[in-house]
Structure 1
Amino acid sequence: MASRQYAIETVGVVGTGAMGRGIAQIAALAGLTVRLFDTDPQAVSAARDYLADIFVKLTVKGKLDEAGAHAALARVIGAQSLAELADCDLVIEAIVEKLDAKRALFRELETIVSGRCVLASNTSSLSITAIAAACTDASRVVGYHFFNPVPLMKVVEVIDGLRGDPAAGDALMDLARRMGHTAVRAKDMPGFIVNHAGRGMNTEGLRVASEGVASFVDIDRIMREQAGFRLGPFELLDLTALDVSHPVMESIYHQFYEEPRFTPSPITGARLAGGLIGKKAGEGFYRYVDGKQQVPDEPSAPTALPQRVWVSARHPEARNAVLELMTRVNVALDEGAKPAADSLIVVTPFGLDATTAAVEEQLDATRTVAIDTLFPLVNAKRRTLMTTPATTRAARDAAHALFAADGVPVTVIRDSTGFVAQRIVATIVNIGCDIAQRQIASPEDIDLAVTLGLGYPKGPLALGDALGAKTILAILRNMSSVLGDPRYRPSPWLARRAQLGLPLTSADASDAPEAAH
């Protein structure tokens, strides 16, 4: 069937919750006529009142003039029935996240709107193809996944179903830009781009906690201050709330037929059952008083420095980073091939635990402490140390004092294959690579979607390039070797590009347009 031409000027929005209101707001401000419908007529009136208040606030802030505010509100027209959406060029559903409800709505809309109307779902986790299967004409059903709050989260995923007309998706890409948003294109796969990529931070953060490696607050501190993320996994889960995020974790896991990379954690299941769902409930992984997160104070670092320190030479660049840091402290360096009997032993593993690093080099585990060198040590905002189960308190405290001597906070964790930052970041990069390998989205769109949708400092592919694809690959392979857990198997996208020295952000060379002669 030949592609239609879709011209969109009148948009129907079904559902007046936070998402529906946000979509109506950006559409009206972009000059589109909006027909707003909800099964509860009072909800429609409340949504218009809400938008009127928003437009006034934008006027006060100087972001909108009075005439523009009045005109935008006038373009939002309440609908008392679905029949009043008959003249819409696009209808976006933002209703309950249940497949049967969405299919029933689209089935009814098909009997009302014209053949040139696009039907779009704001679903975050349901299959667009499955929704479209309820329609006689599945070609005009498209995923249009916005993020909350819609006016501030400037990204939207456009998802093509298996029977979708590419022209319908193209029209929504153009419309997103008209509404001031960045549009990214994805195939219809579980989690699309953002919720798929987000499994790395959340599920691996939960796995670290479930192993007793570190507390929720320490894992968050490491990911924020050492790895440079805006929020740690548990702050993020509290913000999104477990009544939203836990079902998404379970849905993506089951839709990928129990893929080990996406295994949910019993931690979130138990906390959801107990009502500890996050900030909106006043308690989640943190307690909230008047909406403010309550964080325990960090204990002071020990001050007694070691007499001398031996640093493993297994990773020369990592060793040099430790030695550079030690020049700021008056501690003797043990330069022997093997550590002296009274030296603190420092190892710098990638993807290994401190125990394995000590055993492989035949070191005394009671004096061995590992330091994470994936991120710069000098001028760092936080450093992470890791002990073996045999490390003495004296050795642990001496290492803590040494690496905190310049005033940088240090987190000491229990033994963990890949520390905290290494294993979470490597998982983030690896899942991003797998999204690219499966051709769910282009490398460019993967990184755009994640930086805008999740607020990461870099997209997963760019992050892998910045840290070094070979380093990320080594971390994953070492974790796989020690643990035998398939969740850490490297994506072919990562393994091949690391071996060839190619950027993770690059598509296959043969996919590039042929040069003109």
Structure 2
Amino acid sequence: MDTDVTEPDRTNKETAHEGSSFGPVGVVGAGAMGAGIAQVAASAGHAVALVDAVPGAAATAVERIGSALSRLVDKGRLSADDATAVLQRITPAESIDELPHCGLVIEAVPEDLDLKRRIFAELADRQPPNTVLATNTSSIDIDDVADEVTDPERVLGLHFFNPPPVMKLVEVVHGERTADAYVEHAVALMNAWGKTPVRCRSTPGFIVNRVARPFYGEAQRIVEAGIADAATVDWILREKGGFPMGPLELTDFIGQDVNLAVGTSVWEQTGRDERYTPTAFQQELVEAGRLGRKSGRGIYAYAADGSVGASAEAGEPDLELAGRLVGGPIATDPLARTLAMLVNEAVDLVARGEASADDVDTAMRLGTRYPKGPIAWGREIGFDVVARQVAELDEAYPGGRYRPSPALTDGSLS
């Protein structure tokens, strides 16, 4: 059955086009994200047109989707008839010109602003004026993407997380010129697709990629300073903090180059704010080609099957050292230091009006699998305690990285 989502509020003449409707869905970019998004849309009942600039890439992606659906059938999670129906809804196309008139087009190409601008200008010329144009960007400003679109009120971000058929979270991102009616429409559609949407303003890194920066950065700085080795830091965050992976092993899993690129993007977009300055530790790893699991060596060394190798780089956590660090001074306690900075970052984002406290917590639990949202964690620890901890870090490491958010003590989140 086709997914039926109500149209934007037509009573708002300034923000909703008459006759605006989603209907067929177009997906531009047939890589892992684009193919996953196409599968999600088709599974929700939409006819989907999948296009890629590389000849044959869209057809190959449809074959991959078919294989993924077959695996679900083999596991008993999907009937064979439903799998066939989903696959039949997806049509490969060789160019944007071949896209039908869509209610929604989602762009999922590499993070290249010029490329995205060209695609959105082309889509705006070829799609009806009531087609919603969405980008799956993880960090690029929505207004920059919409720069050459004559009707930018219909441009927004739909940031899916990898892999889209599995991950529930979608960040619905609005620029300064995005109409509220289209944001609400997109939220309704994501709910209809079985996703959990969170709203946020177009701020560098949006919610997840911005709030998560201290999780990686503090661990790298602790190792860089010789306070503790990587295995010990990871053990503390996993075993004492409840995080599914330690920050250092997680960057190896993501790819040191990918993680550095996202962090650098946030840093550049915030005017090179000291809070987001990339570490020399990570830059040196990337320069040395130590990219993590995909290269066989990052912070840790890896065997051919991706498991941590037997070299000295794998290391064993020093449990005696961990016992001395946890509960000690904030500057040398990997867990308390990381939590304080996560809470500080989150309350700053909420105080700027970029997302609600509930949406921040939901995003971080679903998007990063944190055991708790940072706002909830701040309430548990005590925002006044976190304020003192961050102030102590700021005194120990002056320069702006550890400046406390005024929202920690103004009572707005209590």
2:232–2:317 CA contact under 8 A, matched in 1: no
- 2:54 corresponds to 1:3: no
Structure 2 runs not aligned, ≥5 long: 1-13
TM-superposed CA distance for 1:118, in Å, is 0.7
CA distance in 2, matches of 1:180, 1:33: 17
Q: Which stretch of structure 1 is more off in the superposition, 86-95 or 69-78? A: 86-95
| Corresponding residue for residue 92 of structure 1 | 106
CA distance in 1, matches of 2:317, 2:104: 53
| Corresponding residue for residue 4 of structure 2 | none
Provide TM-score, normalisation by structure 2: 0.91
Aligned length: 395
1:418–1:475 CA contact under 8 A, matched in 2: no
TM-superposed CA distance for 1:243, in Å, is 2.1
CA distance in 2, matches of 1:8, 1:210: 50
2:222–2:332 CA contact under 8 A, matched in 1: no
Which has more radius of gyration? 1
> Counterpart of 2:308 in 1: which secondary structure?
strand
Report 1:5-84 matches (<5 A). 6-84=20-98
1:221–1:232 CA contact under 8 A, matched in 2: yes
CA distance in 2, matches of 1:17, 1:223: 33
Q: 1:6 to 1:209 in 2, by over 3 A?
A: farther
- 2:204 corresponds to 1:204: no
CA distance in 2, matches of 1:262, 1:251: 9
| Corresponding residue for residue 358 of structure 2 | 444
- 2:186 corresponds to 1:172: yes
TM-superposed CA distance for 1:418, in Å, is 4.4
Which residue of the other structure, out of 388, 392, 395, is the alignment partner of 1:481?
A: 395
| Corresponding residue for residue 339 of structure 2 | 425
User: Percent identity of the aligned residues?
Assistant: 38
2:158–2:170 CA contact under 8 A, matched in 1: yes
CA distance in 1, matches of 2:400, 2:272: 12
| Corresponding residue for residue 308 of structure 2 | 293
Which residue of the other structure, out of 117, 135, 150, is the alignment partner of 1:136?
A: 150
Report 1:245-284 matches (<5 A). 245-284=259-298
CA distance in 2, matches of 1:300, 1:157: 38
TM-superposed CA distance for 1:80, in Å, is 2.3
CA distance in 1, matches of 2:55, 2:194: 29
CA distance in 2, matches of 1:299, 1:230: 19
| Corresponding residue for residue 494 of structure 1 | 408
> Counterpart of 1:486 in 2: which secondary structure?
coil
| Corresponding residue for residue 228 of structure 1 | 242
> Counterpart of 2:245 in 1: which secondary structure?
coil
TM-superposed CA distance for 1:467, in Å, is 1.9
Cα deviations by residue, 1:281-328 (Å, 9 ceiling, x for unpaired): 221111121111234345686xxxxxxxxxxxxxxxxxxxxxxxxxxx
CA distance in 2, matches of 1:6, 1:448: 29
TM-superposed CA distance for 1:221, in Å, is 0.8
CA distance in 2, matches of 1:2, 1:46: 38
Opposite residue 368 of structure 2, the aligned amino acid is L
CA distance in 2, matches of 1:2, 1:455: 35
Q: Which stretch of structure 1 is more off in the superposition, 116-125 or 291-300? A: 291-300
TM-superposed CA distance for 1:470, in Å, is 2.3
| Corresponding residue for residue 320 of structure 1 | none
CA distance in 1, matches of 2:319, 2:275: 37
Q: Which stretch of structure 1 is more off in the superposition, 89-98 or 416-425? A: 416-425
> Counterpart of 2:401 in 1: which secondary structure?
helix
Q: 1:298 to 1:479 in 2, by over 3 A?
A: closer
TM-superposed CA distance for 1:416, in Å, is 6.9
Q: Which stretch of structure 1 is more off in the superposition, 5-14 or 127-136? A: 5-14
1:86–1:114 CA contact under 8 A, matched in 2: no
CA distance in 1, matches of 2:402, 2:285: 26
> Counterpart of 1:488 in 2: which secondary structure?
coil
Opposite residue 231 of structure 2, the aligned amino acid is V
Opposite residue 236 of structure 1, the aligned amino acid is L
| Corresponding residue for residue 469 of structure 1 | 383
| Corresponding residue for residue 390 of structure 1 | none
Provide TM-score, normalisation by structure 1: 0.73
CA distance in 2, matches of 1:275, 1:214: 23
Compare the two structures and name the one with the higher strand fraction.
1
Opposite residue 359 of structure 2, the aligned amino acid is D
Q: 1:298 to 1:248 in 2, by over 3 A?
A: closer
Cα deviations by residue, 1:462-499 (Å, 9 ceiling, x for unpaired): 111122222212211222233334222211111223xx
Cα deviations by residue, 1:30-81 (Å, 9 ceiling, x for unpaired): 1111100011232111111111111111111121111111110000011122
Which residue of the other structure, out of 161, 172, 178, is the alignment partner of 2:175?
A: 161
Which portions of structure 1, spanning 4 or more consecutive aligned residues, are displaced by more than 6 angstroms? Answer: none
CA distance in 1, matches of 2:74, 2:15: 48
CA distance in 2, matches of 1:239, 1:139: 37
1:189–1:440 CA contact under 8 A, matched in 2: yes
> Counterpart of 1:288 in 2: which secondary structure?
coil
